[in-house]
Structure 1
């Protein structure tokens, strides 16, 4: 997943994106001069991947502290911001805290300044809803300051991204925020944060006591395989509203997958996206298939990249999709050697009730023969699949031609093709 920030707002407020445009300090000075002369119109500014450094951020901060400034979205991903620049930014936000809704500071070395940012968050006038701090060098100390601020002002923040910060020991503190009934956090990313079984237990306990707000939880890259049972208890709760769950590379085994699928069978109607990639759960795909064939299941995206799925598991999966074909929109089976089962998967695709839009079969052992079966299915049901990934497969000239002809067919909806 790319760690860049795009606004989820669906309005048409004025915005300016200069991401990765080679903006210099001189350019930034000219830009901020314009913004100071007319600060009330611009709502969104994205300067991600520009090497603004602290000098550029200080110029931006001068705009933000103007009471006429109405900026609600600011992207500073990978801008070379340090503690000095972050101090200027937070000072500006303290003097004018009520407009900014979305702030992306990911991939800047500002870990020591998280306490200053926390001062902004605990201001009752602060309306920040989305905060991205991935790969910022946030420590347990910084996380403690952050969670303390959220406890004192828990009702505004909707999205928090701490991806790539080693704060596993502080997940207990974050869990205290989640169990606050006033907490409105909907999206939480703790990907590769060093979360352990103990931290996962605290997190699960918090979600059991306050299950109704969190919509998306990302715990990828944390070795919490033994604690999936605890998370499964959360999913069983009828009040749980979790829609997206990412458990990539979490050390989940067949036992953990069994607990997870049991929970989804008892409460199948909320989860829309499930990612179990890079876990050794090939033998448990049959259990997951039982979930998929439940008519109440609303799963729209399923990621099973490099899960050691065999032809037998693929057969169970496709059987389930044939019995309940209308919900799944995206399926990732990359890195599983299922080339011999492509005819079964093709039978799903040619079903007129199938609504699959995205299919990833990267490195699946697909040959020209399998490609022909796949192309035939898509010709018979051309209206849904828009993206197909067949990179790193054994495709010859005949397979490539079949796919190219398919993409060029005006009756087919295939827009993106990788091979």
Structure 2
């Protein structure tokens, strides 16, 4: 199948969207389109939405990251999402949508006609108010499985609204990304309840938030619970120290589902590494990929990690952890 062109950074303007719109209607094989980092503006997106609303448009994946979209264009986009029957993946990252724009997108998610499975709203400049609208829409949406809200000012109050929805078994989200959302340990109690009560959620990105050891201590309550189905967990740059590693070690020992965890950009120290290595080298540990700053640990810790490599050759320890396989489709066009 012909997937479609990548037209990033091509200096496209709104007028070019007229021709693109015509192509989307005529070309049945055009299912992927990446228009990121072009100054399309709301006028250009309006023209594209005409194609999305057309029954002959077969587009499935569309990236409009950093395209000059604002809340004005979100009204056209919202209507297009309701009428379109094929679009499953939409990336709107790095656009100034604000709470008003997020509200319009959320309205579309409430309709059963909306077929989106993956929605990327990273760095769209919204607050807990926008999170409230999104949370409400998730109670009605049955198709969305991947949601990226990273680099927005959700704060603990916005995250708690989201976690309350996730506690509902009717919420079908499988992958949630909250990297850099100004979260602290205060939201972790609600998060634990969501992880234990929702069997669908399998991937969670919490990196670049100030969770600290206190937050991870609370989070480990969920990891030790057999009802928690998390397979991928991002905790990079969360202010963690050796104090949380005993909790993590105990959780990894009993958890049979967690396969990937990222602990890079945390100062775990020798004692923390030692606690982790006690379980990492054992057959009870099912972990497949561990993100850890191997180059930054002392020689004693390096020897412990080398012993883990010998005793558990199936475990891959990476200093540069990537998100491949975590649903970040728009990064791999």
Corresponding residue of 1:310: 298
Corresponding residue of 1:386: none
Alignment partner of 1:224 out of 205, 211, 232: 211
Secondary structure of the residue that 1:15 maps to in structure 2?
A: coil
Q: Does the Cα contact within 8 Å between 1:130 and 1:160 map onto a contact in 2?
A: yes
Determine the C-alpha separation between the residues in 1 that align with 2:306 and 2:316: 14
Residues 280 and 307 from structure 1, CA distance in 2 versus in 1: closer, same or farther, beyond 3 angstroms? farther
Would you say 1:76 and 2:61 are equivalent positions? no
Determine the C-alpha separation between the residues in 2 that align with 1:192 and 1:165: 7
Q: Does the Cα contact within 8 Å between 1:16 and 1:46 map onto a contact in 2?
A: yes
Corresponding residue of 1:65: 53
Deviation at 1:306, TM superposition (A): 7.8
Corresponding residue of 2:329: none
CA deviations 1:15-43 (Å, max 9, x no partner) are: 2321223323333222222323x164422
Structure 1: where are the runs of 5+ without partners?
1-11, 335-357, 359-419
Determine the C-alpha separation between the residues in 2 that align with 1:233 and 1:314: 29
Deviation at 1:330, TM superposition (A): 4.7
Q: How does 1:357-396 map to 2 (within 5 A)?
A: none
Q: Does the Cα contact within 8 Å between 1:19 and 1:46 map onto a contact in 2?
A: yes
Deviation at 1:138, TM superposition (A): 1.3
Residues 305 and 138 from structure 1, CA distance in 2 versus in 1: closer, same or farther, beyond 3 angstroms? same
Corresponding residue of 2:186: 198
Q: Does the Cα contact within 8 Å between 1:278 and 1:307 map onto a contact in 2?
A: no
Residues 61 and 288 from structure 1, CA distance in 2 versus in 1: closer, same or farther, beyond 3 angstroms? same
Name the count of aligned residue pairs: 318
Alignment partner of 1:141 out of 120, 126, 129: 129
Determine the C-alpha separation between the residues in 2 that align with 1:76 and 1:322: 45
Corresponding residue of 2:283: 295
Deviation at 1:46, TM superposition (A): 1.1
Residues 278 and 129 from structure 1, CA distance in 2 versus in 1: closer, same or farther, beyond 3 angstroms? same
Determine the C-alpha separation between the residues in 1 that align with 2:295 and 2:268: 6
Alignment partner of 1:150 out of 133, 138, 144: 138
Alignment partner of 1:177 out of 165, 183, 208: 165
Would you say 1:15 and 2:26 are equivalent positions? no
Determine the C-alpha separation between the residues in 2 that align with 1:28 and 1:128: 22
Would you say 1:118 and 2:106 are equivalent positions? yes
Would you say 1:108 and 2:95 are equivalent positions? yes
Secondary structure of the residue that 1:131 maps to in structure 2?
A: strand
TM normalised by structure 1 equals: 0.72
Q: How does 1:339-350 map to 2 (within 5 A)?
A: none
CA deviations 1:158-196 (Å, max 9, x no partner) are: 111011101112111101121111222111111110112
Corresponding residue of 1:398: none
Determine the C-alpha separation between the residues in 1 that align with 2:295 and 2:309: 18
Determine the C-alpha separation between the residues in 1 that align with 2:148 and 2:128: 15
Alignment partner of 1:274 out of 237, 245, 261: 261
CA deviations 1:333-374 (Å, max 9, x no partner) are: 79xxxxxxxxxxxxxxxxxxxxxxx9xxxxxxxxxxxxxxxx
Q: Rg bigger for which structure?
A: 1
Q: Does the Cα contact within 8 Å between 1:134 and 1:161 map onto a contact in 2?
A: yes
Determine the C-alpha separation between the residues in 2 that align with 1:203 and 1:307: 32
Determine the C-alpha separation between the residues in 2 that align with 1:306 and 1:118: 42
Secondary structure of the residue that 1:134 maps to in structure 2?
A: coil
Residues 333 and 117 from structure 1, CA distance in 2 versus in 1: closer, same or farther, beyond 3 angstroms? closer
Determine the C-alpha separation between the residues in 2 that align with 1:285 and 1:14: 44
